[in-house]
Amino acid sequence: MTIAIVAAMHEELAALLAQMPDEQRVRVAGRDFWVGHLQGQPVVAVLSRIGKVAAALTATVLLERFQAQAIVFTGVAGGLAPGVRVGDVVVATRLLQHDLDASPIFPKYEVPLTGHARFAADTAISDALAAVAAGVLADTVGLLGQKAVEDFGLAAPAVHRGLLVSGDRFVSSAAESSALRNDLPDALAVEMEGAAVAQVCHDFGVPFAAVRTISDRADDAAHGDFTRFVSVVASRYSLALIDGWLATLPPPDEQDEAT
């Protein structure tokens, strides 16, 4: 089973690529797809770029050209719900495009002609990622070092599961964040790609999961220290989460026998 690992920013993917012993670059649609192995599992890793169109295109190429049988998106998001703090991890159960509105022809947020506004993440993969995340967050000092934990105030980070919302804008004001909470009170976090990939995977009938590190509170301070957080914290989270999850999977030959 070939598993696709996708991130939107270079810093989020670099740590993963550094651990792939045999990656081979394949360039398609202006993107570098890195084909190889991680934890003994066949993987293809790619930088989707930022935004829903870029993410949807990347997902389509993964499914059509590389025959990926599951896609996992990793990276950062802005916290929305109370209690979702910087350094926490959100594992999506459902994903929605918060900037999609074809009303009154279709209900707000619903993807026209699909009957769906919320696309479900794969339960088995999400359960496994959440379990791995709990273990990773139990020792952030061991993973990041004391200085990073103190600098970013990562005291007792938590794992959250629920609605992740996506849109083609970086939510970086208290007013925007408040509006999203009012319209979507069960939304845990906001980012710019996940729901688009979830829609593509739904159409292809391929499992999808999204795991996001909270980099900010999607408010007026969202831009502060963002780049450093991604390189110092989020990239290490992503590697530990994906690496840990892949390690729980049976060897590829056993997967082949099961099918």
Write out the CATH class of domain 75-251. Answer: alpha beta
How many angstroms separate the CA atoms of 85 and 73, rounded? 20
Question: What is the predicted pLDDT for the residue at 218?
Answer: 66
Tokens of 231: 């390189």
From the candidates 12, 23, 88, 122, give the one annotated as an active-site residue: 12
How far, in Å, CA of 9 to CA of 113, rounded? 31
**168 pLDDT more than 90:** yes
Percent of the chain with pLDDT over 70: 95
Query: Residue 6, SS3?
Result: strand
What pTM, to 2 d.p., does this model score? 0.93
Give the model's pLDDT for residue 220: 57
64 is catalytic: no
Q: What is the pLDDT of residue 227?
A: 81
Does residue 176 have an active-site annotation? no
**pLDDT tens sequence across 86-117:** 999 999 999 999 999 999 999 999 999 999 99
Domain ranges of the chain: 75-251
Residue 85 has pLDDT above 60, yes or no: yes
Query: Who contacts 179 (Cβ-Cβ below 8 Å, separation ≥6)?
Result: none
122, 183, 216, 243: the active-site residue:
216
pLDDT at 62 over 90: yes
